Structure 1
């Protein structure tokens, strides 16, 4: 049995194909009811592309999951809900991060949109994580303001750093800065008078 053929078939079923770009991917049997119209990448609505991909993925993982996609600020935001949706987050959100990377790749390939970010939440995981990070930011801000010394956090993904930046953006006593490169990029919380 050729594993490449099986993988190609599976990816084609999800709407990802290395085949001729003029052909539309076959519809997922559990999701699509009819033929998918052939569109050039520039003509296809990015929201529809993302919805189709995530709906197909969710249906293969758990038919009880549902997907909703909406346009946010410079990004497409998707929510996967259902009884077991939170399991899709994986350990420390790693599976969810992989789903976002795949979704972005599909969006770039099928809709020709590399300018849109993709944010996916499953079972409210991202919202709970953002709430936890915001509370951490407030605690650290109090600590930094009280001690007068900067606090450097461990390296973290851009989305998490962004939550912290936004949480402390209007804070009267502290400011934030991202330093480092790539996966080693981290956030520093420092007093407003620190270096100003």
Structure 2
């Protein structure tokens, strides 16, 4: 297992940046904790994710804050602050990259490749989910009226999931994912029977 705890080590290894001595990572949690082994592993994973994200945002905007919580089988992180929304990037691309890097750090440092990582910045994911839910409802009305299926453009699994959930209980239409890999897309079609 890799014991590096400083973002500078990751960045230096990638050739992105030299160490910035003005920002010190938060202290490591005390290993003498008497929590059960699985709970301790979850706490370590949460702590690793939180330390990584705090180190990252400290270099971008020290006014931002990070909260990490465990939800079901995932760790959810929220980055908030006055200018947080700008950090999400165009169409959430920067947010997506941060999420991938955070998962990679967690996987490599804690050996936790089985833990899902979800990051939201300034409520971007929530707004995106609301927009997708409204889109799903509008498309469902159109499909119900026309009786013809509607195929959406390829989209990431998280976005397809939002639409599936929005239409799960819809009386007139159903949704399914088709295709493989990056070209996987969602089809909304009339519910028969």
Which bracket does the TM-score occupy, shorter chain normalised? 0.7 to 0.9
1:59-89: CA deviations, max 9, x gaps? 1110001000011132111000011100111
Who is 2:177 aligned against?
A: 178
- Counterpart CA distance in 1 for 2:160 and 2:153 is 10
Equivalent residue runs for 1:38-77 within 5 Å: 43=41, 45-77=44-76
- Counterpart CA distance in 1 for 2:135 and 2:161 is 13
Who is 1:4 aligned against?
A: none
- Counterpart CA distance in 1 for 2:30 and 2:143 is 57
> Cα RMSD over matched residues?
2.8
TM-score by length of 2: 0.82
Contact 1:27-1:34 within 8 A present in 2 as well: no
Contact 1:88-1:122 within 8 A present in 2 as well: yes
**Structure 2 runs not aligned, ≥5 long:** 14-18, 32-39
Structure 1 residues 65 and 173, CA gap change in structure 2 (3 angstroms)? same
Residue 32 (str. 1) matches residue 25 (str. 2): yes
Of 177-186 and 126-135, more deviation after overlay is shown by 177-186
1:126-182: CA deviations, max 9, x gaps? 000000000000111111111111000001111110100111111111111111111
Question: Partner of 2:166: helix, strand, or coil?
Answer: helix
Structure 1 residues 82 and 70, CA gap change in structure 2 (3 angstroms)? same
Structure 1 residues 77 and 143, CA gap change in structure 2 (3 angstroms)? same
- Counterpart CA distance in 1 for 2:185 and 2:165 is 15
- Counterpart CA distance in 2 for 1:141 and 1:176 is 9
1:2-58: CA deviations, max 9, x gaps? xxxxxxxxx953563898xxxxxx9985343557778xxx95711111101001101
Contact 2:87-2:94 within 8 A present in 1 as well: yes
Question: Partner of 1:16: helix, strand, or coil?
Answer: helix
Question: Partner of 1:177: helix, strand, or coil?
Answer: strand
Structure 1 residues 184 and 88, CA gap change in structure 2 (3 angstroms)? same
TM-score by length of 1: 0.81
